[in-house]
Amino acid sequence: MDREQGSAQVAVSLRCARDEALAALLKDRLAHDRRTEHLQLDVRVDGAIAHVSGGVGSEDERALVRRLLRQQGGIYAVWDLLQLPAQRLEVADFGCGGHKQIPGAYGVDQVLMPGVDAVADLERELPFDSDAFDHIFAIHVLEHIHNLLGLMRELHRVLRPTGVLHVFAPHWRHPNAIADPTHVRMIHVQTFKYFCEPHPEVAPWRPLMVTASDDTVHADLQPLKDGPLASSVELARWFA
């Protein structure tokens, strides 16, 4: 084994150890909070992304779990597929290509291929009813979109009020952002602040979590359809 291979194996081992430690912290947080200690949730961490699934008793309980999970340092994003009693989550993967982030998700792409359930042009109005989905994954998609304001309005429309949009995009300072000639825009954490503030052309979002690693900007956003906009404290938490 040469030095480069040895370094790569060490890096993988360290990432695995980090993910296991973060998962243990999340489980401990939920188990020792009297409000969530009764829940039977599956919790794992992969690449500092928390994957959490299971049942919750009410919408307030789901909101609480989401908040507790996102308080953990070292986590970049939380993919929380939390179901209410008798609820079937409607999950969509936009720009899925041949690989869905969540098995069984409804795959949407501009090109028909195995795994794609619906063909849609993300630059135009989406062919879905309002409030159709509980979760939408847009993983390395937004950097390809010319009409980003229009797409974000459409994602806002087709998500339910308690739904979450999960985004990954290349960090604008990383070579990955400019290495792909099909990228048409740069993405920064502050890009998502624009969508969480009042602008006439924006359907507003609440930032559940917005972070950045060296190569990726991560955002978990909830559509605001009723009630107040995100407070200055919420905005400062992620965009200070």
Q: What are the tens digits of pLDDT across the range 141-176? A: 999 999 999 999 999 999 999 999 999 999 999 999
Q: What is the C-alpha separation between 22 and 230, in angstroms, rounded?
A: 28
H or E stretch including 10?
A: helix 3-31
pLDDT of 93 over the 70 cut: yes
Length of the chain, please?
Answer: 240
In contact, 216 and 210? CB cutoff 8 Å: no
- pTM of full prediction above 0.85: yes
Looking at residue 72, its amino acid is Q
Q: For residue 4, name the pLDDT band (cuts at 50, 70, 90).
A: low
| Mean pLDDT (whole number) for 35-56 | 98
pLDDT at 52: 98
Secondary structure of 150-202 in HEC code, one letter for each residue: HHHHHHHHHEEEEEEEEEEEEECCCHHHHHCCCCCCCECHHHHHHHHCCCCCC
3-state DSSP call for residue 239? Answer: helix
pLDDT at 11: 77
**With pLDDT > 70 as the criterion, what percentage of the chain qualifies?**
97
- Report which DSSP code applies to 89: -
pLDDT at 98: 87
pLDDT of 1 over the 60 cut: no
- CB atoms under 10 Å from CB of 95, counted, come to 20
- Across all residues in the chain, what is the average pLDDT? 95
pLDDT at 151: 98
pLDDT of 53 over the 60 cut: yes
* CB neighbour list of residue 184: distance below 8 Å, 6 or more residues apart: 143, 144, 145, 146
Which residues are paired to 46 by β-bridges?
Answer: 49
pLDDT at 227: 85
Structure tokens at 240: 């200070």
Instruction: Among 71-75, 112-116, 129-133, name the one with the lowest average pLDDT.
Output: 112-116
Per-residue pLDDT reduced to its tens digit, 163-211: 999 999 999 999 999 999 999 999 999 999 999 999 999 999 999 999 9
Sheet holding 91-94, edge to edge: 118-119, 106-109, 91-94, 133-139, 159-170, 216-223, 205-212
Closest CA to 153 of 126, 129, 180: 126
